Amino acid sequence: MRSKEIYERGLKIIPKAAQTGLRSETHYPEPFIPETAYGCKIKDVDGNIYTDYHMAFGPIILGHNHPEVNEVVKEQIDKGVLFGAGMCELEVEVAEKLIELIPSAEMVNFVNSGTEATYHAIRLSRAYTGREKVVKFEGCYHGWHDYVAFNVNPPADKMGKIYPQSKGILKAAYDATLILPFNDSDAFKGLMAEHHDEIACVILEPIPHSVGAIIPTKEFLKTLRRETKTYGSLLIFDEIITAFRHNIHGVQEEFGVTPDITTIGKSMGNGYPIAAIVGKKEVMSMIHNGVLVSGTYSGHPSGLAATKKTIEIIERDNVIDYISKLGEEYRKALIDLIDDLNITARVIGYKSIFAIQFAEGEVKDYSSIVGIDKERFKRFAAEMRKRGVFFTPNPMKRCHLCLAHTENEMDEFLDAASEALKLV
């Protein structure tokens, strides 16, 4: 097997044979060495073809290797790969489109990743408010930097206490981060009453998809907005996953809550590296006016070209409506299958995202998720992979649909799942 050979070569010189820890998990149960991908299919170096539900953690919304997106990127490469001076017209065009679409967007700054976006959003909030502390919620992921690398998936006995996701985080970051349970309005109001003069910002995934899916109550989101306005803290929505996948205007529109700053990325570029910070003019105008935001590759022309075309296709082809409806069909069919098999499991998700978790009960916050049977899920993912269905074996993650998935793929998924669930 070439996969095993390449994996063993890589393991000697690349930590865990992957560029991120989460990617390394996809080497279970066997090394995964992808070679090509098209539509909703991905092929490894040994010629095995899988239907892909991982979708690179979610950016692939139109399908892998989309010809229209690739074509405009090639055209841009022929014009110039990277200018690194002034501002190209694409930056203006894409920024104008984002301001047209996202309710909270009055100004735009492009970066390369969601981590960069949340890092700069928090720095901006500290500069704007003159305060230091950040409120984040258990189960929400905002990247790997020290400001937010806490309590994404703490063990049960560490919940409610500051829990680092990594070694090497500055002690000052512990002191500057306040952790709360998601969907708990009373806890949030109590914290704001006690610490409001210290809190620069409140950051959250409006739907925490980094632990599958926790659906917020509207009362919770409205409480966040009301309290932050009252006390002068900034509200940051991390819509890296949700914007352009669930709603072209961001889920802030459908929940009726407009934050001060929004971070976006992933689906808006269909796999090309692009992210952005958007927000109120009075806040965003501090960038380059006392607040340092920098990056050689920020606003990269290839990512901007991909974003412009991806958004055009999302609008033209009603992509979000299609994948959202298909997601509902997947979830309903999986719920029926689990009921028929009489096993302890649940199906969670939102629109084009779904996840199977080996647990019971309604998901209201991270405490509803921490006890899921992780080993059973890993076995399930391994059995599905044997049957040509690929998604990460990480039990906290989720499956994503793209425009290339159809009911045929759904039928194949259900056939595979009906066998795999009986074996785990």
Check: CB of residue 88 under 8 Å from CB of residue 256: no
Per cent of the chain over pLDDT 70 is: 100
Outline which parts of the chain fall under CATH 3.90.1150.10.
2-65+318-423
pLDDT digits (tens, 9 = 90+) for 312-350: 999 999 999 999 999 999 999 999 999 999 999 999 999
Model pLDDT for residues 380-397, shown as the tens digit of each residue = 999 999 999 999 999 999
Residue 11 has pLDDT above 90, yes or no: no
Is the confidence at residue 206, as pLDDT, over 80?
yes
Annotated catalytic, 330? no
Q: CA 376, 370, 397: angle at the middle one, nearest 5?
A: 65
8 Å CB contact between 262 and 243: yes
- pLDDT tens sequence across 241-300: 999 999 999 999 999 999 999 999 999 999 999 999 999 999 999 999 999 999 999 999
Q: What's the whole-number mean pLDDT along residues 401-406?
A: 99
Per-residue confidence (pLDDT) for residue 22, from 0 to 100: 79
Is 141 one of the annotated active-site residues of the chain? yes
Mean pLDDT calculated for residue range 122-135: 98
* Active-site residue, selected from the candidate residues 266, 309, 351, 378: 266
350 is a catalytic site residue: no
pLDDT tens, residue by residue, 148-181: 999 999 999 999 999 999 999 999 999 999 999 9
Predicted local confidence at residue 322, as pLDDT: 99
Contact between residue 221 and residue 257 where contact means Cβ atoms under 8 Å apart? yes
pLDDT tens-digit readout, 228-245: 999 999 999 999 999 999
Q: What is the mean pLDDT of residues 406-420?
A: 98
**Cα gap 233→265, rounded to integer Å:** 24
Which residues, listed in sequence order, are joined to residue 278 by a DSSP beta bridge?
108, 262
Angle, helix 89-101 to helix 301-316, in steps of 10 degrees? 40
- CATH node for 2-65+318-423: 3.90.1150.10
Answer yes or no: are the C-beta atoms of 394 and 374 closer than 8 Å: no
- Rounded average pLDDT over 62-85: 97
- Listed in order, the ranges of the chain carrying CATH 3.40.640.10 are 67-316
- To the question of domain 67-316 being in CATH 3.40.640.10, the answer is yes
**Bridge partner residues of 234 (DSSP):** 201
The pTM (predicted TM-score) of the whole model is 0.96
Looking at residue 102, its pLDDT comes to 99
Could you report the per-residue pLDDT of 212-233, keeping only the tens digit for each? 999 999 999 999 999 999 999 9
Q: Return the pLDDT at 399.
A: 98
Residue 273 and residue 114 in contact, taking contact as beta carbons nearer than 8 Å: no
Find the catalytic residue in 44, 184, 238, 260. 238
